[in-house]
Amino acid sequence: MRKRTKIALTVLAVIIVLAVILGSIVFLDVAAYTATGSTTITPTGSSLGKAIVIYDPGLSGAAKGVADKVAADLQSSGYTVTLAGIKSSAAAHTTGYKIIVVGGPVYGDAFTVSVKACLNNLMPDQGAKVGVFGSGDFVATSSDITMMKNSVSALSSTGTLSNAVVVKIAQSENLATRAQDFVNQLT
């Protein structure tokens, strides 16, 4: 009996430790610290202006895939695009851009700490269009989008994000179509 109790307690302890580690990874947004690079892609013709796509890759990297597709669609629309990890130096300097996109994973119907911090510190030029995307496992309902828009608006003390275009793109959706629709709303 004592041996079974020891085994059960050991298994329970391992489960608790793993849960704490996983929770720390998600809630402390450890994946964001890997997003330190940036690249610039130019359109084939003359540029309509500059755009920046700032991303938190998340645990699965799906948000990075969304960011790549949004950046490619902006480039195809004629913009010179900077694709920047959320912890890169490029992400900290958002002046001079006509379009600013910030996005990352949505865990439990909330943006990551790094995405919230980025949006909170965002100071877009007057007239710049701002887009925010969330990436997740489930297709967003209209109430999810309303909640995300309210969250984004609340992050801006100056009200600069009240007109932001906000979308959530689920992994089960057609990324090409959803990303293009998002870019069309911004251009």
Residue pLDDT, tens place only, 90-104 = 998 899 999 999 999
Residue % of the chain over a pLDDT of 70: 90
Q: Which of 127, 129, 130 is nearest to 152 (CA)?
A: 130
Task: For the domain made up of 31-186, give the CATH fold.
Answer: Rossmann fold (3.40.50)
Closest to 75 in 3D by CA, of 104, 52, 103: 52
Residue 27: is its pLDDT beyond 60?
Answer: no
Residue range 42-59: mean pLDDT, rounded: 91
Q: Quick one: DSSP state of residue 43?
A: -
Token pair for 139: 């297709």
pLDDT at 184 over 90: yes
pLDDT-derived band at 18, boundaries 50, 70, 90: confident
Q: Are strands 99-107 and 38-41 parallel, antiparallel or unpaired?
A: unpaired
SS3 sequence of 69-120: HHHHHHHHCCEEEEEEECCCCHHHCCCCCCEEEEEEEEECCEECHHHHHHHH
The yes-or-no verdict on residue 24 having pLDDT over 80 is: no
**Average pLDDT in the chain:** 87
Domain range list for the chain: 31-186
Q: Is 60 exceeded by the pLDDT of residue 154?
A: yes
Residue 19 has a pLDDT of: 79
Burial 127-152 (b: 16+ CB within 10 A, else e): ebbbbbbbbbeeebeeebeeebbebb
- With both helix axes pointing from N to C terminus, report the angle between 113-121 and 142-155 in degrees, rounded to the nearest 10: 50
Q: Copy the structure tokens of residue 124.
A: 């877009």
Query: 172 is written with which tokens?
Result: 């089960």
175-186 vs 62-76: helix crossing angle, rounded to 10: 50
Structure tokens of 132?
Answer: 């925010």
> What pLDDT does 152 receive?
84
pTM score, whole prediction: 0.81
Amino acid present at 175: L
What per-residue confidence (pLDDT) applies to 33? Answer: 63
